[in-house]
Amino acid sequence: MNEAIKNRYEFMILFDVENGNPNGDPDAGNLPRIDPESGYGIVTDVCLKRKIRNYVETVKDGETGYRIYIKENVPLNRSDSEAYEYLNLTDAKVKGEKKKNPDIDIKIRDFMCSNFFDIRTFGAVMTTFVKASLNCGQVRGPVQLGFARSIDPIVSQEVTITRVAITTEKDAEEKRTEMGRKAIVPYALYRAEGYISANLARKVTGFSTEDLELLWQAIINMFEHDHSAARGNMAVRELIVFKHSSELGDCPAYKLFDSVEIKKQQDVIFPRKFSDYNIQIHREQIPNSIEIIRKI
């Protein structure tokens, strides 16, 4: 396994959407997620992690050490059982083995971390108890993402559309088209904040420098292979990385995030493109020991 990262990081992602729905809310008829009090748009951390997982799965295609644990149509217990098979354990004898060898839980965890990129990165709850003793534990991952929030309040629009694909034979006899509705955001710029703990990487998952570079690559390209009619034109516009000089860091994360100022250009009332915003990093607010890297 490659050596774990040695520096703490914080990072900020700026991405935008044009005439699309970045993250539908199933509790609101799949309309774009929104903070009802402020009107700001929201994209969940789960949504962003899914796109990162999909990109890694696409570029690595099942390569050893870079498989994805949480994926469509693959039961979690199927992956959990691989650790038991590797260690020659069975459901019947695992409890006895754990009493004899207290390190067996660590070996199970290490197997899962070394084989699955998303466990090594984000962590996972692998305590499903579908089988009484099939338990790979819980892993707290070094990489954590918060919800993304739009820079300005958004206006969700429902656009009426027509389709020529008729559902039933009876409908085909009575009409030529059917009506439908599509929810879009005309334009919005979103900001998401993330955290990477070198301490957890070293002590728990072994998240390495190679994993870190793949994570940056996945974030930058997470919308490039995820285009659809529903999501419209989405793109990561900025990836700002703050690299601390040590494992535990040089200052609180909020000071780093507060140093990034995003505001509309003068005379812009309704932003409709990324250039309608000005992004400025106030270096004087940040300790000199912290390196600022703009990946895009």
Mean pLDDT, the chain cut into blocks of 10 residues (296 residues total)? 91 96 90 93 96 95 91 81 79 65 82 94 80 72 97 86 73 69 90 97 96 97 86 92 97 96 94 95 96 94
For 206, other C-beta atoms within 10 Å of its C-beta total 18
User: What is residue 224's predicted lDDT score, i.e. its pLDDT?
Assistant: 92
SS3 48: helix
Q: According to the model, what pLDDT value does residue 92 have?
A: 60
Which pLDDT does position 56 carry in this prediction?
A: 96
Q: Which pLDDT value is given to residue 2?
A: 81
User: What is this structure's pTM?
Assistant: 0.90
Cβ atoms within 10 Å, residue 105? 13
State the Cα–Cα distance between residues 252 and 231, nearest whole angstrom.
35
- The DSSP string of 188-232 is EEEEEEEEE-HHHIIIII--BHHHHHHHHHHHHHTTTT---TTT-
Q: What is the DSSP letter of 5?
A: P
pLDDT of 91 reads: 62
pLDDT of residue 29: 84
CB-based contact 77:135 (threshold 8 Å): no
- Pair of tokens at residue 258: 């507060």
Please say whether the beta carbons of 215 and 121 come within 8 A. yes
> What is the dihedral sign for C-alpha 71, 75, 78, 81?
positive
To the nearest 10°, the Cα dihedral for 163, 165, 166, 172?
Answer: 110
CA 202 to mean position of chain CA atoms: 21
List the structure tokens of 260.
């990034």
List C-alpha distances in Å: 279 to 168, 237, 253, 264, 274. 52, 11, 19, 9, 10
